[in-house]
Amino acid sequence: MPDPHDLYQPTAPMPVVEQQQRGVYRAADHRRVALLAAAGSAVVLSALVVWLFSGDDETPPPVAAPPAVVVTSAAPVETPEPSPSEVEATTTTAPVTVRPAQPAELIAALRAVVDSLEDQGEIDDDGAEALDRRLKSAADRLKRGKVKDVARKMDEFAEKLVDLREDDDISQSAFNALAAGATQVRAALPAR
C-alpha cells in the first residue's frame, strides 16, 4: 500500500468501453450523420443564395447629401370673409428666414457623406481617404481663417474627385453628390 504522504500515487489505465449497439442502428447512425450534414449544407447554401440576390440592384441606395441651403418667406395667411357678427381678425405670420449654411458645417457634412459612401462601397477606400484628407485640411485652414487656402483645398478635392471618376474608383451617383457638395462649399466661402 502506498504511503499516504506519497505525492505521486500509482495509476492504472482504465479500459475503454464502447457502447454496444445492435446491428440495425449502427448502420443507420452513419446515414443519419451524412443526412444531417447534407441538410445543414443545403440550409447554408440557400441562405447564401437568398442573401446574395436579396439586394435591389436597379435602384442605388440613397446617397446622403450635404444639407441644402433654403431661404423661404411665408406668405400672410388669408382669413375667410368674416360675417358681420364675428369680430374681424387678421392673422399674419412673420417671414421665416433660414440662415445660410456655414462653410465649416458644409465641410463637416461633406466628410460625413464621404464616410457614408465608403461604407456603402460607392468609393474606393484609398480614394475616400484621400478625399477626407483634403476636406480635413480645408476645415483646419478655415478654422485659422485662411480662406484662400480653403478654396485651394476645395479645388484639390474637386480634382481628386474627377481623377477618381476617371479611374472608376467612385460611382456616378457618389461623384454627383460630392461634386454638388463641393460646389456648395465654394459658394459659401467668403469673398477672397
pLDDT tens by residue, the chain, 192 residues: 556 666 666 677 777 777 666 665 666 677 788 888 888 888 888 887 787 777 655 555 555 555 555 444 444 555 555 555 555 555 566 676 666 778 888 889 899 999 999 899 989 999 999 999 999 999 999 899 888 888 899 999 999 999 999 999 999 989 998 999 888 888 888 876
* CA nearest to 18, candidates 29, 2, 8, 31: 29
Which residue's entry shows cell 449497439? Answer: 21
CA angle 71, 105, 112 (to 5 degrees): 120
Residue 138 counted as domain residue: yes
Residue 125 counted as domain residue: yes
Assign 170 to helix, strand or coil: strand
Residue 44 counted as domain residue: no
How many Å apart are CA 65 and CA 54, to the nearest integer?
Answer: 26
Backbone φ and ψ of 184, nearest 5°: -65, -40
Query: What is the per-residue pLDDT for 70?
Result: 47
Cβ atoms within 10 Å, residue 69:
13
Residue 172 counted as domain residue: yes
How many Å apart are CA 15 and CA 111, to the nearest integer?
Answer: 69
Q: Looking at the 3D structure of the chain, how many domains does it have?
A: 1
- The answer to whether the predicted template modeling score (pTM) of the entire model surpasses 0.85 is no
DSSP 8-class letter at 123: B
By CB atoms closer than 10 A (0-12, 13-18, 19+), residue 33 is exposed
How many Å apart are CA 161 and CA 117, to the nearest integer?
Answer: 13
Residue 49 counted as domain residue: no
Residue 74 counted as domain residue: no
How many Å apart are CA 139 and CA 76, to the nearest integer?
Answer: 40
Q: Which domain holds residue 137?
A: 103-188
Residue 55 counted as domain residue: no
Residue 1 counted as domain residue: no
Asked if 93 and 76 count as a contact pair (C-beta separation under 8 A), the reply is yes
